[in-house]
Structure 1
Amino acid sequence: MEIVNVLSIAGADPTGGAGIQADLKAIAANGGYGMAAVTALVAQNTCGVRDVHVPPTDFLAAQLAAVSDDVRIDAVKVGMLGTPEVITTVAEWLERTRPPVVVIDPVMVAASGDRLLGAEAEAALQRILPLADLITPNLPELAVIAGAPVAETWDAMLEQAGAVAAQHGVRVLAKGGHLAGPSSPDALVDPSGGVVAFAGARIATGNSHGTGCSLSSAVATRIARGADWATGVGAARAWLRESLQASDALDVGQGSGPLHHFAGLWSRGAVDGAGGTASDIRAEWWDGIAEVRAATDALPFITRLADGSLPREAFLAYVAQDSLYLGEYARVLARLSTLAPDPAAQRFWLHAAQGALIGELELHRDRLDGAPIGAPSPTTTGYTNHLVASCSDEYAVAAAAALPCFWMYSDIGTRLFRGELGERACDPEHPYAEWIAAYDDAAFAADTESAIALVTELAAAARPDLRERMWGAFRISAEWEHDFFRQTAVDGAGSARSADREHLVPVS
């Protein structure tokens, strides 16, 4: 990995949570070598600011000249500037040196809502914005720059960001943390009006000190390393969210504490961890198989099961194959119990294996009423072979391969029971009402949620190559789930016929 040199121009925070101290940590955590020129010395802690000393601007200019005369600068992050004189000094240096990447975090409004700059400094800051490639205001700061009330909706935020981007010819990363609700979305808006939206559930933590400093430094570093703007912002946000999620592990101060800048680095031992929380991965993986899920919903077996027109022979053919599958699936789950590294996971997989054998398998054979089960189909064999082969990889990969059988099966069954795939499925006289009603089972739903949580938490902690293998195993299993429902097709006359085919993705 090429290491880039990133210069932070900002104030100091002696507790290390914000300012140049946070910038240096963020730069290092995202793969850069951090440097700093100090604009202000701040006496503060996690509870608040006590005093600020602004060194003479000729000393700031000397710091900047000393760095740029000697070191190749790949990116610059600008934070707290404070006075018109400081802003002018930095602007003149930027105009002379023209760093390849400039990200400005316009520190103008405190978390309390107090304005941090006087009118002259705010006007001077407006003049420096066109020298940036990206600015990263929170909503109160965006409102000051736009000369408008603080945006209270997503649309208002986008409108203000678009106006600022067009006026100053600069990209705007508008941060939606001040919006009401359970989400904390951001938007990257370019001067031409292009918008890249970044979703994310709000992370419940009191440790938000320095998030703006850290995010802007992370973005500057990612862009300097060669990422495009959308990818760089996305990677920086994933890192930030992971660091926020882990912030409670720190014990720094009595007020608003810092994020855990190196949580991912320490847990994975690698800079380029995939990042993101378990909830982020849950959404990403579920969205990643959206086409597979839609294709499954559209299968004749599912649509005719929902409307009650599925021939009995087709239903029994499916049940027979599912019985054969569950026997092998139980063995895979039992194998996962032996591979799991902790007692809680071991107990869960063993419980799931018992459920597959004792619960579902016995119910299926009761439905067959003594009819011969027959041999496994090529699809059933292919699916179980894939699961068995996954167990020869790392435990996390095997767990990811087992997840779609929980998740997709539960999703389809729950929507059948609720009538979302057709109102006829809610009719107590439906020919398969007993089978559909089996999905109204709190224990089954709880097991599915446990499986999702277990696997996504493994993925969140995984190093990048392992997470990629987990995703691949999960995706292949999702396609096998589709094929499993597809293998017993129903022709126009209403009779069942085999629809086995070679799987699209190699199992090896």
Structure 2
Amino acid sequence: MKYIAVLTIAGSDSCGGAGVQADIKTMSALGVYAASAITSITVQNTMGVKAIQSIKPDIVSGQIKAVMDDIKPEAVKIGMVNDVATIKSIANTLQESKPGIMVIDPVMVSTSGSMLMQPEALDIFCRMLLPMATLLTPNVPEAEVLSNIKINSMDDMDRAAHNILDMGCKAVLIKGGHLEGNKKIDRLYINNGETHQYVHETIHTRNTHGTGCTLSSAIASFMARGEDMPQAVAKAKTYLSMALVAGKDVNIGEGHGPVDHLFNPEKLIIR
């Protein structure tokens, strides 16, 4: 018997709503065992990011190797990686272990608008880490940076997705939450030509801190549990929507508060 394990490689959020903290809460709520490799320490609260201290690359790679060698997770989720040395370290270490499922959330801008990835790191990210992704999950601003296309419509989203797929990832989910409207439309593009669309009602709340981290962790968790990618995305979207609704009127901090990750937690799944 064993637990279903997922490794998150991401930054630590001192206010607990995003980053590794959100990943661990999400994975635990969905019944999978969460392991972690910390890439950076952020000084932040719901009002914004004040400072970022990167962890030494050899310590980052050491954390990953320790988990991959021993726990052997079914999936890996990668979140905030904001410097060249860390990206190279992660890519080189994962090339050795070759995880079967790798969900990458290209965290470049925080909910409060703070830049989280150093500009010089973007090229290395696109060349070394992005092609390893089973699934990339950018929001609209991040997809614009990656594709070099301004996204104002669904047609723009389609063009941006194909530009990103041409960079080597197996699939890309572009999250349409930054487009205006009463419905939020996300589109999943797979490199075999499949396209899947997910439509959810807009949930009016300021508590949106860590939604990208939460969604990508939920997708990785459902894929680790055995769901195919389109179904894993659908279930992760539903989980995130329910977490947003559960926490939409709760006041934690003075800015963008977190979702309620633990509105209905599952027991750890044992196989």
Q: What TM-score results when the alignment is normalised by the length of structure 2? A: 0.94
Look up the equivalent residue of 1:224 and give its one-letter code: A
Q: Does the aligned pair in 2 maintain the 1:162–1:190 contact within 8 Å?
A: no
Aligned counterpart, 2:238: 238
Letter of the aligned partner of 1:144 in structure 2? V
C-alpha deviation, 1:152, in angstroms: 1.2
CA RMSD of aligned residues (A): 1.8
Q: Distance in 2 between matches of 1:195 and 1:214?
A: 22
Report how many aligned residue pairs link the two structures.
268
> 1:140 and 2:141 equivalent?
yes
Q: Distance in 1 between matches of 2:200 and 2:108?
A: 25
Deviation string, structure 1 residues 38-95 (Cα, Å, up to 9, x no partner): 0001111111112211121111122112212211211000000110000000000111
Aligned to 1:184: 184
Partner of 1:406: none
Partner SS state of residue 262, structure 1: coil
1:113-144 alpha-carbon deviations (Å, 9 max, x no partner)? 55432332000110210111000000010011
Shift of 1:18: 0.2
Structure 1 vs Structure 2: percent identity of aligned residues?
39
Structure 1 residues 270 and 39: alpha-carbon distance in aligned structure 2, compared to 1, 3 A threshold: closer
Give the superposition deviation at 1:155: 1.7
| Contact map agreement 1:242 1:264 (CA 8 A) in 2 | no
SS at match of 2:7: strand
> 1:344-388: CA deviations, max 9, x gaps?
xxxxxxxxxxxxxxxxxxxxxxxxxxxxxxxxxxxxxxxxxxxxx
Measured in 2, the distance between the counterparts of 1:99 and 1:172 equals 18
Q: Is the 8 A contact 1:3 1:225 kept in 2?
A: no
SS at match of 2:226: coil
Whole-Å separation in 2 of the counterparts to 1:9 and 1:48: 21
Match of 2:35 in 1: 35
8 Å CA contact 2:111–2:256 kept in 1: the answer is no
Deviates more, 1:242-251 or 1:71-80: 242-251
Query: More strand by proportion, 1 or 2?
Result: 2
Aligned residue type for 1:117? M
* Residues in 1 aligned to 2:2 and 2:176: alpha-carbon distance in whole angstroms: 32
Residues 46 and 255 in structure 2, CA contact (< 8 A), matched pair in contact too: yes
Map of 1:200 onto structure 2: 200
CA-to-aligned-CA distance 1:392-438 (integer Å, 9 cap, x gap): xxxxxxxxxxxxxxxxxxxxxxxxxxxxxxxxxxxxxxxxxxxxxxx
CA-CA distance at 1:271 after TM superposition: 8.0
Residues 20 and 114 of structure 1: is their aligned pair in 2 closer, same or farther, counting only changes over 3 Å? closer
CA contact (8 A) 1:152 1:180 kept: no
Deviations 1:170-212 (A, max 9, x none): 2001100011111111011011332100011111111000000
1:308 maps to what in 2?
none
Do the aligned residues in 2 keep the contact of 1:166 with 1:192 (CA within 8 Å)?
no
Whether the 8 Å contact between 1:113 and 1:140 is mirrored in structure 2 is no
Q: In structure 2, do the counterparts of structure 1 residues 116 and 14 end up closer, same or farther at CA, with 3 Å as the change threshold?
A: closer
Q: Following the alignment from structure 1 to structure 2, what is the Cα–Cα distance between the partners of residues 109 and 32?
A: 28
| Structure 2, unaligned runs of 5 or more | none
Q: Which has the higher contact order (CA 8 A, sep 6+)?
A: 2
User: Which structure: larger Rg?
Assistant: 1
Kept after mapping to 2: 8 A contact 1:4/1:33: yes
Corresponding residue number in structure 2 for 1:93:
93
Q: Which structure has more helix as a fraction of its residues?
A: 1
The amino acid across from 1:135 in the alignment is L
Taking structure 1 as reference, are residues 181 and 248 closer, same or farther at Cα in structure 2, changes over 3 Å only? closer
Greater CA drift, 131-140 or 247-256: 247-256
Q: Which amino acid aligns with 2:135?
A: L
- The 3-state SS of whatever aligns with 1:50 is strand
